[in-house]
Amino acid sequence: MNTPLSHEGIKNLKLGDTVYLSGTIFIARDEAHLRALKFYEESKELPVDFNGGVIFHCGPIVRKEDKKILAAGPTTSARMNSMEPKFIELSGIKGIIGKGGMSKDTVEAMKKFGCVYFAFTGGAAVLAAKGLENVKDVFWLDLGMPEALWVVEANDFGPLVVAIDAYGNSIYDEVSKNVGKNIIDSKRILGLE
Amino acid sequence: MYPTVAPWGEIIENNVIEDTVVSLLKEAVTSLPKDVLFALKEAEKKERSEIARTQLRTILDNIDAADRLTVPMCQDTGIHVFFVSGRITPDLEEHIRAGTLRATNEIPLRPNAVHPLTRENPGTNVAEGLPHVVFHPSSVDYTEITVMPKGAGSENMTALAMLTPSQGVKGVKKFILDTVVSAAGKPCPPTILGIGIGGTADEAMALSKKALLRPLDQKNADSSVAELESDLYEALNLTGIGPMGLGGDTTTLGVNIEIAYCHTASLPVAVNLQCWAGRRATARIYPNGRVEYLTRGGSE
């Protein structure tokens, strides 16, 4: 798929679909979220247009000399839970890439404003860097390399798994329900109950 | 670099230890030990969930790319735990610290070490208490060094329980199962479980980390402990948590348990989780300066 994502495009994505993304992706984690929200609050103009965009929860290792991304695995998305619903509403992003899934509130916001969550394999930093080689721009470097807002050109970045769709369905909820059932077998093997 | 012999006969190892530490760190962050790689490949063959197979394939492709390009397989290059056994020289720890600093700049490693309260980052991975070095002196003539870079995602899921003796083996099993289920996808499964049972609280924790040093193809020598390892392995993989918590048959690659006798009124259990990147590298340094790399084979 190509970014920016369209409303129709994400409506067709189903849980478990594998996707490769090409086009502009914004790397933004804790501090970049905080600052973007502050900009919205103060009605200041943001340095990028997030509308229809995809953000990646990641703190990359970027080589200073040529701004080449060396390692860029996903970070734990749950840390952005308190900020993401507001950010989805105000920024108009249509996709989030991360690991571990997000809170109920965030899933609700994704459903309401139209956004999907893509899981990328934790720790697969070399493959991620390969798909995100070209840095187009960087803003807010005063936040530090991992926390800055990086604008990168993705080239078949993936495999990404659709883990939360635009209808409020979540693989993490499904897995959690299954684990609740499966644990009976686990306990039987261990002689518990 | 070869050692020189001081006039009083003591061998001065110059930078052999420091150089070896740099080599070990590089090996550890860019390639996985054979047993872990084998377990991941076997898991991919057996996995029935398509999403889980994609995760395992991505992990294996990533390991392959890291190895080929000699770059760290994960951006979290961890904090560094060293296990040193055999012949211990007085300045060994200083050489390990110097080697860690050099490796941080040369490889490079992500500077992860920060002050626990101010969160100030010296940018070196070398500070008070880090790298963490554990010594086990013995009377052999060589020094054996193992480095284990430990990422925070899995380390943060560590759990300790001071059970009562009446809770017994069932209590131990339940605690381990609960720990893995509540950690779900957060420690980047498939994980390796290091478990310490017995001792004092700190000894149980130390054993749980030491357990992670044992290759996955070796069971505990005590058959009753080995049976507990097998049962837990089977039970945990039935939970369906799967790689990255996205569901599947592969939740853990192995369960390693170490035990110690404990107080008659105690039953400590410690669980130390290791993400799929079960990184460790070992070398032996002989008095003549020869270095034998045990995890990758060969010597220098």
Question: Which amino acid appears at position A58 of this protein?
Answer: C
Q: How far is A43 from chain B (nearest CA, A)?
A: 32
Chain A residues with CB-CB distance to B245 below 8 A: 100-101, 172, 175
Coil, strand or helix: which one is A57?
Answer: coil
- The Cα–Cα gap between A102 and A172 comes to 9
Q: Rounded to whole angstroms, what are the CA distances from A110 to A22, A36, B1?
A: 21, 18, 59
CB B187 within 8 A of CB B153: yes
Write out pLDDT tens, residues B276-296. Answer: 999 999 999 999 999 999 998
| pTM of the shown model | 0.91
Does the distance separating the beta carbons of A161 and B276 come in below 8 Å? Answer: no
Task: Indicate which of B54, B246, B249, B276 best probes the interface with A, i.e. most A CBs within 10 Å of its own CB.
Answer: B246
Q: How far is B238 from chain A (nearest CA, A)?
A: 6
Read off the tokens for A160.
Answer: 């990404």
Q: What pLDDT, on a 0 to 100 scale, did the predictor assign at position A60?
A: 86
Q: How many other CB atoms sit within 10 Å of the CB of residue B6?
A: 9
CATH topology of domain B4-31+73-151+280-293: Dihydrodipicolinate Reductase; domain 2 (3.30.360)
Over range A99-127, report the average pLDDT: 95
Domain A7-189 class? alpha beta
Q: Rounded to whole angstroms, what are the CA distances from B192 to A113, B49, B181, B253?
A: 39, 20, 14, 5
Contacts of B105 (CB under 8 A, 6+ apart): none
Instruction: Specify the pairing of strand B267-274 against strand B191-198.
Output: antiparallel
Chain A residues with CB-CB distance to B151 below 8 A: 123
B293 burial via Cβ count (<10 Å: 0-12, 13-18, 19+): middle
Percent of chain A surpassing pLDDT 70: 100
Known catalytic residue at A33:
yes
Phi, psi of B133 (to 5 degrees): -120, 125
Write out pLDDT tens, residues A170-179. Answer: 999 999 999 9
CA-CA-CA-CA torsion for A84, A90, A91, A97, nearest 10 degrees? 20
Strand ranges for chain A from DSSP E: 18-27, 54-56, 61-63, 68-71, 95-98, 116-119, 134-139, 149-164
Q: What is the DSSP letter of A71?
A: E
Write out pLDDT tens, residues A17-31. Answer: 999 999 999 999 999
Q: What pLDDT, on a 0 to 100 scale, did the predictor assign at position B1?
A: 43
For chain B, which residues score pLDDT lower than 50? 1-2, 4, 12
Would you list the domain boundaries of chain B? 4-31+73-151+280-293, 153-274
Task: Indicate which of B49, B58, B120, B170 best probes the interface with A, i.e. most A CBs within 10 Å of its own CB.
Answer: B58
Does the distance separating the beta carbons of B235 and A60 come in below 8 Å? Answer: no
Q: Rounded to whole angstroms, what are the CA distances from A117 to A2, A60, A100, B216?
A: 15, 19, 10, 34
Q: What pLDDT, on a 0 to 100 scale, did the predictor assign at position A67?
A: 87
**Closest chain B residue to the Cα of A63, Cα to Cα:** B108
pLDDT at A167 over 50: yes
